[in-house]
Amino acid sequence: MTPADTPPLLRAERIERRDPVAGSVLLHPASLELRGGEHVVLSGPSGAGKSVLMRSLALLDPLSGGALLFRGRPVPACDIPLFRSRVAYLRQRPALLGGTVEDNLRLPFELKINAGRIYMRERALELLEAAGKPPNFLAKEGRDLSGGEAQVMGLVRALQFDPEVLLLDEPTAALDPESTAQVETLVLGWAHARSTEVATVWISHDPAQGARVGTRHYRVIAGRLCSADGVVIEAVAA
Amino acid sequence: MSGGGFLQDLSWPALAISAALILINGAISLALRLKLEKKLAIAALRTVVQLLAVGYVLGWVFAVDRWYVVLAMMVLMTLVAGRAAGERSRWTYKQMGADSIVSVWGSSWLVAAIGLFVVLRVRPWYEPQYVIPILGMILGNTLTGVALGMERITGELQSRRDQIETLLAMGATRWEAFRPAAQSAVRAGMTPVINAMSVVGIVSLPGMMTGQVLAGQAPEAAIRYQIVIMFLISAASGLGTVSVVLLVYKRLFSAEHRFLYWRLTET
């Protein structure tokens, strides 16, 4: 099969989001295709709808219209946890779930969706090493982590399950250059080792970072998905 | 003091003397400039007025002795308790009042029915002398359990929003994401009855038992009633707490495993 015959990992068909309380439009119908090996960067002003789009791609918020297909199929409600374990969404500030870094890394193995999987310290150490963290990082208390360290922890927590799509919501916006480099190295190393099997979406404000991590670039302006030079991709339905 | 006892004819002057004791609190307030005098006076007045009113209403209900009057009284008490349970939380959602009433109603009536018809075997079923005070005691405690459970669950969901969404994003089911908050809320709701059961008889003599003993009943008989009541209270309170937490779960988590956090608003 040629790549064109295989359905994309993720396909958004005119997905739309409205504020559930006020009813105002948060995201105008947006269409997007994400194939294995692709690395999409979303940029645009704050509050324009980048996170809204990304949360919709993770099915975290209800769509007001349109459809999201995973490997060519819509995701039924009962399969959404499975979908989310394959399409990992990481928020800007990863939430700590108590205890040490290792406790945090172990916790998702207790979820029903990961039944049968076992936490492997070697795997965690491998990922941490890729982010430039020493083995004793595992013993660090979650509450003592800096923003950058927490972000690395959150990434390792997600990557140990080898998701197919990684959705990164401004992962380095609040980080110093060194932490930013660690996060990028970790994600790019992981993605390149899997070449066409995985895809990433980054939200980034930094054009230099966008150039480093992205193969396709979009802008989100006033709730509309636009090409990199600001042209609206999908016209609003009349 | 066989049967009657001198307390039956508590005179109005005697009541007035006890009421005057509230002046002690007033003096404290004045001395420490707490500015509570007005609140104290209103609270004292409410105590007198509400208890007098309930005395007359109960007297009438007892005298009429009709099932529909007793039932109407029970419904009224339940609605008041259910409403009060939902008014405490800082974070609310649209159907919070209804959910509080449902939790209080369902758990207290179920447990009261078991207590009245299975344990105490009251005949006829609407005998107001039993039904109203027992339902009242159960309601008072269920109200506390439901109010605490509701307050805690909404507060926890609000403060743990990041954690809940992180769990959901990692593939947790809505129940897995909700469970830590639920545990904390149910624990909070059940704590008062557990505390009450641990110290009963040693630190505190429950009002019902005290009343029975004062009215001349043998302490052993009064204690047997009190044991029944304590278990009814704890069962109803626990059930009420769990049911309100489950109702909140139904309201704030969708079948698509989403946390509908925007439904929570600050009062």
Q: What is the pLDDT of residues B216-242, one digit of tens each?
A: 889 888 888 889 999 999 999 999 999
Band the pLDDT of B2: cuts 50, 70, 90: very low
Flag whether residue A156 sits within 8 Å of chain B, measured between CB atoms: no
A82: closest CA of chain B, how far (Å):
6
Its pTM stands at 0.87
CB burial of residue B133 (10 Å; 0-12, 13-18, 19+): middle
Residue of A75, A97, A164, A165 to mutate for B, most B C-beta atoms under 10 A? A97
Peptide bond preceding B124: is omega within 30 degrees of 0, i.e. cis? yes
Q: What is the pLDDT of residues B116-128, one digit of tens each?
A: 999 989 889 899 9
Q: What is the pLDDT of residues A13-42, one digit of tens each?
A: 999 999 999 999 999 999 999 999 999 999
Using the predicted structure, report yes or no on whether residue B139 has a pLDDT greater than 50.
yes
* Residue B257 with chain A: CB contacts under 8 Å: 77, 80-81, 84
- Residue keyed to tokens 């529909």: B68
Query: What SS3 string covers chain A?
Result: CCCCCCCCCEEEEEEEEECCCCCCEEEEEEEEEECCCCEEEEECCCCCCHHHHHHHHCCCCCCCEEEEEECCEECCHHHHHHHHHHEEEECCCCCCCCCEHHHHHHHHHHCHHHCCCCCCHHHHHHHHHHCCCCHHHHHCEHHHCCHHHHHHHHHHHHHCCCCCEEEECCCCCCCCHHHHHHHHHHHHHHHHHHHHHCEEEEECCCHHHHHHHCCEEEEEECCEEEECCCCECCCCCC
Two structure tokens written together for A166:
């990684």
Residue of B158, B178, B256 to mutate for A, most A C-beta atoms under 10 A? B256
* Residue A60 with chain B: CB contacts under 8 Å: 165, 168-169, 258
Count contacts between A and B (CB, < 8 Å). Answer: 68
Flag whether residue A8 sits within 8 Å of chain B, measured between CB atoms: no
For the segment A137-162, the average pLDDT, to the nearest whole number, is: 94
Q: What is the mean pLDDT of chain B?
A: 90
User: Residue A91 and residue B162: Cβ atoms within 8 Å?
Assistant: yes
> Residue A4's pLDDT is what?
60
Closest Cβ opposite residue A62 in set B169, B173, B258: B258
Closest Cβ opposite residue B256 in set A21, A59, A111: A59
* Residue B163 with chain A: CB contacts under 8 Å: 95-97
B258: closest CA of chain A, how far (Å):
6
If one compares A92 and B186, the residue with the highest pLDDT of the two is B186
B93: closest CA of chain A, how far (Å):
12
How many angstroms separate the CA atoms of A188 and B126, rounded? Answer: 74
